[in-house]
Amino acid sequence: MTAARGPSEAWVDFRAVKEAVSMEAILRYYQVPNLRRQHGQLQGRCPIHRGQRDDSFRASVSKNAFQCFACQAHGTVMDFVAAMEKCSLREAAFKLQPWFSPSVALPRRTATEGELVREKEGNPPLPFTLTGVDHSHSYLARRGIDRATAIEFGIGFYDRPGLMNGRIVIPIHNWRGELVAYAGRAVDGRIPKYKVPGGFHKSLELYNLHRAMATGSPTVIVVEGYFDCVRVHQADLPWVVALMGSSLSPEQESILVERFERVILMLDGDDAGRAATQTVRAKLLQNCEVLTLAVSDGAQPDPLSIAEVRNLLSAAMSTIQTGIEVTERRDVNRKQSR
């Protein structure tokens, strides 16, 4: 007989939880006092770090998300519960079920053994930070990365002893903003071109996710590589993440559909990128809206000029805005016809 799986071993439909439970309901449950409603937001003192400022905590009613500008906590209803209860997102989702049942139906299927192992292993935060990184290296200028952006992302040349010696180091953070790994890009033709430390599970992360989440955008741009991501960010489009490759893992898929309503795929214009676009699009369409951008044949976002990146994205954003307006008109017409 197979033993019954506990909450930590069952699959959680995070999207269903987010849709079923409102941020207002969560704040009422925790009896957060003295919240003021202003411009579609609830503002007040942060109940997570219990600060003294009465304007640091903001909860968006329309986006069903929160952010504290003092302690930097942010995210969805599940992130809020996880922070308040000091537990994982999965545990937070299961806590929500009895609180708001029967509106939240959680387990869809049991997780595979591989998924459970990956979740338990995770990518622990690094106990160190590399120092002496040169943010003004000529390689970065050749890739079109200005010094301010290099400093913001922590990217630069590392010439001290260690695994990343003689490479451009690229810090990788988890969704909380914790540093979990460095990737190293060769500048002199050595193999491998990119190096990551052994034991780092790339499939569990999306590069730049913590910055994209901080924007509060319901839309996210997905590219393949680190430098593609930085290029789009420099085009004043900070809600961008990178797969760190051309495939989408189940964990990355879950992250995208949990945290964003809409995905814009901007993968490379080569054969591999075109094939990946179709595969990734088919997976995501089951749970969210997906738009695809056609990068020129053989090209990738990284070498494009800032103007070219903006032009590509402006067309996509126009399509999104048109769709929103059409939906709103339909909703108005339905109400008027009743």
Beta sheet of 219-223, edge-to-edge order: 240-242, 219-223, 262-265, 289-292
% pLDDT > 70, the chain: 82
Please tell me the distance from the alpha carbon of residue 234 to that of residue 236, in angstroms, as a whole number: 5
Residue 244: DSSP 8-state: S
Q: What is the pLDDT of residues 91-107, one digit of tens each?
A: 787 777 666 554 554 44
Average the pLDDT over 124-141 and give the result.
94
pLDDT band at 109 (very low <50, low <70, confident <90, very high): very low
Which domains, from first to last, does the chain contain? 11-103 (3.90.580.10), 138-200 (3.90.980.10), 206-317 (3.40.1360.10)
pLDDT of residue 98: 62
Among 95, 101, 104, 91, which Cα is nearest to 18's? 104
